[in-house]
Structure 1
Amino acid sequence: MLATLEQQLDRLTRAGQADLLIRTRQGIEKEGLRATADAAISQTPHPRGLGSTLTHDFITTDYSEALLEFITPVQNSPAEALDFLTQLHAFSFEQLGDEELWCASMPCEIPSEEAIPIAEYGSSNVGRLKHVYRQGLKYRYGKMMQTIAGIHYNFSMPDEFWPAWQQLEGNTDSLQAFRSAGYFRLIRNFRRYGWLLLYLFGASPALSASFMSGRQHSLEQLDADTLYLPYATSLRMSDLGYSNKAQADLNICFNHLDSYADSLHKAIHTSHPAYEEIGVEVNGHYRQLNTNVLQIENEYYSDVRPKRVTESGEKPVHALMHRGVEYVEVRNTDINPLLPLGIDESQSRFINAFLISCLLGRADDLDDQECQRVTENHSRIVNRGREPGLTLFSCEGEVSRETLAEKILDQVAKTADILDAAEGSSAHTDAVAAQRDKIANPSLTPSAQVLAALRESGLSHSEWVLQLSRQHRETLQPQLTAEARERFTRAAAESLQAQAALEQAEQPAFADFLADYVAS
């Protein structure tokens, strides 16, 4: 990012193409557990008023039947995406009865793994496949990790940007190849600098003690029911949560589409001895889809992914290989329990400026040594990111967190200036300024604010989050519009009809369906 960003911005500005940078496309996927009035994970089925989790476009579940997932369509601005997310929340609250939507990444009270219901998707072959995949996750990693919630931020540049930038670059590849290479350039730089987002927006420094019940850990006791690390930013993204520790030997290469697809393809077609011991179908019950290192591509837990919308029956890696990268999914965003939606417009605008800076930044590959530095920086930030005197690795050696962060923010500020000049606002530069304050004063970070609020409340983590969840419900539910209620009511009914049609249609035996799916 640091070498070429300013030149790229200057070239786009002089060519009269800078306005393309503000036409970003974004969508948000947000998870959240349904919790009971006493802060325990819900044991009830997915509310029928929310429709079918298999066929609804906007409301589904992730691992657990209790883990709701809201999906906004692709929108032309952060404000539009957040407004749609607001309406999804408000409509869902009307269907939840006396349950609450958990407003934090780390889960509510879970007495044991047996209390976590795996998501159900009906009796169709596609529905059964989704359920069996989740069974496989249980056997491979345990259920507890799968209850962690987060925000996935989907980002793409407008279609018109790519031929304009390709012409400025003097590139003669196909437009599809050029676009894919551009998104992988973004991904490489995101991996270099993504630790900064964890510092700035990490909001999970504490968790319910029930999450670690029976497991060894090095967390400290905040109270009888709450564990934490004093300088942690995102325990969700640590080895306790969605880390790559269980998949450390995969060596998925993020440098280019070909190497990424090849390494991922190998992982989903190579059997793993430990998973062979689990078995696939045991005593008439499926435990997993297959015994391969990955059952499907989505099993690989990475903080950023190249993505393309798939066609019916198409696997994600095949879609990427055949039609190239369409957008990037950022997966390291915690739910901020202090915000009604867990994310706000300032954060979204900063992420956009950050991602554009990664896209237009340095173009060199990540080598093995740099990958090791990336991994170590990630670990230091999630576990002790606010620690006074913390140093991080750079290509010049170890430097202070503040020095490295300011260098990155200086570059993002240049992008923000261009975006605001094209938009006629100060929204992006204001968002960057807010992040500079967090570098100078770590107590302004969400992780520090969460710990401070927890201590001040005198409540346990679960009691405090439950209280906030109720407050956010009171804020969001009255914002439901009549138009949104009508739209989502109709979508729920249509999704139930679509699932029923799938289940009534003639279909092969599940064993044959699964064999064909795995073979493809």
Structure 2
Amino acid sequence: MQVKQKSFAERLNVLRDQAVSQTLTGIRHGVERETLRINPDGGLAQSPHQEALGAALTHEFITTDFSESLLEFITPPEVSVKKTIAQLNDVHKFTVSNIGDERLWPMSMPCFIENQDAIPIANFGSSNVGKMKTLYRVGLKNRYGSMMQAISGVHFNFSLPDEFWQQWLEKTSAENADKDTISAGYFALIRNYRRFCWLIPYLYGSSPAICSSFIKGKETNLPFKKLGKGTYYLPYATSLRMSDLGYTNSAQSGLNICYNKVDTYIASLRAAISQPSTVFQKYAGKKQGEYQQLNANVLQIENELYSPIRPKQPTLPLEKPSEALDQRGVSYIEVRALDVNPFSAIGIEENQFYFLDVFLLYCVTHPSAMMDAQQYNETEVNLRAVVDHGRDPEIMLLNEQQSISLTAWALQLFSDMQQVALVLDQANDTTHYSTALELEKQKILDPSLTPSAKVLQRLISQQCDNGTLGLMLAEDYKQQLIDSDYEFMNAEDLAEHARLSIEKQRVIEQQDNISFDDFLSSYFSVSETD
């Protein structure tokens, strides 16, 4: 017999219970920030990943994403927000101090790029695992083009301590905390996140404008306006990065990934990986002796699934993400809907951490029914509307098939989240959470306070191009970072990390004892239903 789910008010009372609330001091965060290296003229750097930064294959904190020019900075999971921000600052400072006269692009949408062949694909060395990572990126270029892969974002990793789940599950559903029940708790969070996810690009979307080089040769129905020499913008857009122009994949729209349970999620993900694609079949096999993709399926590997949130479990060497989830359950979630904050040298501000903690804990606390295909589609429709024209005063969203204004729905959410913020404040003996919530609420009441509006206001008032603003900010931030102090890792520590990462890569390359063809065959031969 199914236990009737408690109401929000009842679940909020459980959250307030001291045995539950005192565990909230153990919430951990990590950040992954992507950024392009650019030349002093604002063009994309063509230089390889600098040796002083270490080996992208094996470095814990500094790696590359799609391109040699696209850096990714990673912080380990930490309880202290200030520590995470300081660590991120340390890595940024070390990087700008070791890339000569290059700068870091401070926006999500790319700088001026002549054509997609000017985006060098990341090189992870001569090992089989390194070659596989590069080939995956070759496949992405062939499938979607390199321009889309040059987009940058910030990923926010969030986990609740085991002690929280033990108390929470016992008091809300009389369950013991184990791999399966904790995973179910995270999936309940994920479903609510999908329902309310439109709020994230509204509050933090910072890409209402793009360089004309980004859409050169592309068809688009979006009613762009033009300013400067070659900047296109949408007057009410929040995050073109999240739009159909950016990090989405129409080929994935029919995948029906299920977010109800960990096993249905894994099954639907594995089905997509093993489903042959008629579209991508043209890149099958070798061309002039070189593979053009990892395989001809809808997804080459699981990481190709574009989603504004992912359930995560750290993987072992050569372990697939779905295998890790299957074996050990959900360990944390990765929020992937954040644009790079152009008003911060490190792409994210302290206030965002506190707000996201409130928002994600609200997603845990709010009752979360299972989601059918129609409800899932509704979340996609809302997200698309907000990224394209979220600041339109007339914008309406769908809430369980009922039309509601963005402002009215957002204010309802903020009213509920205020109760969650108070619990977090009390647990941590602070007012950071309520203060963060109030600051974000002002953006609902006044859309001109949103980062997307602020970016657009600067561009229009100065009649300057996106590239001009980006380069100016990049130069300011480079100097700001160089002038800042190291806090947790100094230059010597980070230089040692770089040296060790190069040594680790060398060991991996020396240990290879099979051909790349055999390696790939072995990797994909393991049954996806194991």
Aligned-partner Cα distance in 1 for 2:285–2:55: 27
Q: Which secondary structure does the structure 2 equivalent of 1:273 belong to?
A: coil
Partners of 2:243 and 2:387 within 8 A in 1: yes
Equivalent residue letter for 2:290: H
| Displacement of 1:173 | 5.5
Per the alignment, residue 292 of structure 1 pairs with 297
Per the alignment, residue 502 of structure 1 pairs with 508
Structure 1 residues without counterparts, runs of 5 or longer: none
Aligned-partner Cα distance in 1 for 2:174–2:45: 54
Which stretches of structure 1, 4 residues or longer, exceed 6 Å deviation after superposition? none
| Displacement of 1:425 | 1.3
1:458 counterpart = 2:489? no
| Displacement of 1:131 | 0.3
1:514 counterpart = 2:517? no
| Displacement of 1:505 | 2.2
Pairing partner for 1:77 from 74, 80, 83:
80
> Structure 1, residues 1-20: CA drift from partner, whole Å, max 9, x if none?
x9833322312323532121
Identity between Structure 1 and Structure 2 (%): 42
| Displacement of 1:458 | 3.3
Pairing partner for 2:495 from 480, 489, 493:
489
Pairing partner for 1:370 from 367, 375, 397:
375
Pairing partner for 1:226 from 231, 234, 256:
231
**For residues 174 and 357 of structure 1, do their structure 2 counterparts lie closer, same or farther at Cα, with a shift above 3 Å needed?**
closer
Q: Which secondary structure does the structure 2 equivalent of 1:197 belong to?
A: helix
| Displacement of 1:174 | 5.7
1:479 counterpart = 2:484? yes
Pairing partner for 1:191 from 159, 184, 194:
194
Per the alignment, residue 274 of structure 1 pairs with 279
Per the alignment, residue 240 of structure 1 pairs with 245
Partners of 1:205 and 1:230 within 8 A in 2: yes
> Structure 1, residues 277-332: CA drift from partner, whole Å, max 9, x if none?
21132221011111111111000000000000011221100110111000000000
Aligned-partner Cα distance in 2 for 1:279–1:234: 34
Aligned-partner Cα distance in 2 for 1:355–1:399: 22
Q: Which secondary structure does the structure 1 equivalent of 2:213 belong to?
A: helix
Partners of 2:170 and 2:176 within 8 A in 1: no
Pairing partner for 1:64 from 67, 71, 76:
67
Equivalent residue letter for 1:196: L
**For residues 425 and 457 of structure 1, do their structure 2 counterparts lie closer, same or farther at Cα, with a shift above 3 Å needed?**
same
Structure 1 window deviating more from structure 2 (455-464 vs 104-113): it is 455-464
Aligned-partner Cα distance in 2 for 1:17–1:97: 50
What is the TM-score of this pair, normalised by structure 1?
Answer: 0.97
Per the alignment, residue 128 of structure 2 pairs with 125
Partners of 2:228 and 2:463 within 8 A in 1: no
Aligned-partner Cα distance in 1 for 2:501–2:240: 36
1:94 counterpart = 2:97? yes
Per the alignment, residue 351 of structure 2 pairs with 346
Partners of 2:15 and 2:365 within 8 A in 1: no
| Displacement of 1:225 | 1.2
Partners of 1:52 and 1:499 within 8 A in 2: yes
1:449 counterpart = 2:454? yes
Partners of 1:24 and 1:76 within 8 A in 2: yes
1:426 counterpart = 2:431? yes
Per the alignment, residue 263 of structure 1 pairs with 268
Partners of 1:100 and 1:469 within 8 A in 2: yes
| Displacement of 1:170 | 4.2
| Displacement of 1:395 | 2.1
Root-mean-square deviation (Å): 1.5
Equivalent residue letter for 1:370: Q
Q: Which secondary structure does the structure 2 equivalent of 1:133 belong to?
A: helix
Structure 2 residues without counterparts, runs of 5 or longer: none
> Structure 1, residues 88-143: CA drift from partner, whole Å, max 9, x if none?
10000111101110000000110101101000000000000000000000111111
> Structure 1, residues 455-488: CA drift from partner, whole Å, max 9, x if none?
2333211111010011111212222428421211
Per the alignment, residue 53 of structure 2 pairs with 50
1:37 counterpart = 2:15? no
1:301 counterpart = 2:306? yes
Partners of 1:307 and 1:325 within 8 A in 2: yes
How many residue pairs are counted as aligned between the two chains?
519
Partners of 1:125 and 1:507 within 8 A in 2: no
Equivalent residue letter for 2:126: S
Equivalent residue letter for 1:215: K
| Displacement of 1:497 | 0.8
**For residues 506 and 347 of structure 1, do their structure 2 counterparts lie closer, same or farther at Cα, with a shift above 3 Å needed?**
closer
